[in-house]
Amino acid sequence: MKNVFLIIALLGIVAVVTADSHGAPLVSLHNTNFVVLLAFLIFVGILLYTGVPGLLAKALDARAARIKAELDEAKALRDEAKALLASYDAKHKEVAEQSARIIASAKEEAEAAAKQAKADLTASIARRLAAAEEQIASAEAGALRQVRESAISVAVAAAGEVLAKQNTAEAASASIDAAIATVDAKFH
């Protein structure tokens, strides 16, 4: 950095020496070019004495280090983001596969439930048909029993009327005696 200031100072001196000051002597306070050169050299001297070039170099080095650190941090963040993206992609794939498995499982369960419901419905219809057939058979048996009982009642009533018309008191007495004798013979 000091070399840069020295080069600038030498260029300034060369510019003053080569400049035409309209007949004024080269080293004189009346020569404005010389005054400017002198002020410039004093200014550069003060800067060199106070260590401004070192401070500027340190500031530039610190800024370069800060920028490098920020670039390193940005690179690390980018790598971390890539890793996170890869992780999310893997999780997304896993979730997609898991949802496909869940959907397939749900379809299988729905099909199994539909088959079971069909089987249950068939069994329920068969039970109801059997119960209805049993009720019909029971009703038929009850109706036949009632018809038989009615027929027997009608037959007994008709036979009683026929016997009542045909029997006389003597025939009834003889019939009773014969029935008693038959019972007596069978029990002894």
Most confident of 1-10, 19-28, 99-108: 99-108
Assess whether pLDDT exceeds 60 at residue 19: no
Judge contact between 46 and 9, C-beta under 8 A: no
Residue 103: band (very low, low, confident or very high) from pLDDT cuts 50, 70, 90: very high
- pLDDT confidence of residue 16: 59
Residue 185 CB contacts under 8 Å (≥ 6 apart), including other chains: none
**99-122: average pLDDT:** 94
Could you report the per-residue pLDDT of 115-170, keeping only the tens digit for each?
999 999 999 999 999 999 999 999 999 999 998 888 888 888 887 777 777 767 77
- pLDDT confidence of residue 5: 65
CA atoms of 18 and 39, how far apart (whole Å):
18
Could you report the per-residue pLDDT of 23-82, keeping only the tens digit for each?
556 667 777 877 888 898 899 889 888 988 888 889 999 999 999 999 999 999 999 999
If one counts every other C-beta atom within 10 angstroms of the C-beta of residue 59, the result is: 10
Could you report the per-residue pLDDT of 155-170, keeping only the tens digit for each?
888 877 777 777 677 7
Could you identify the residue written with the tokens 């009533």? 157
DSSP state of 1: -
Q: Model's pTM, two decimal places? A: 0.38
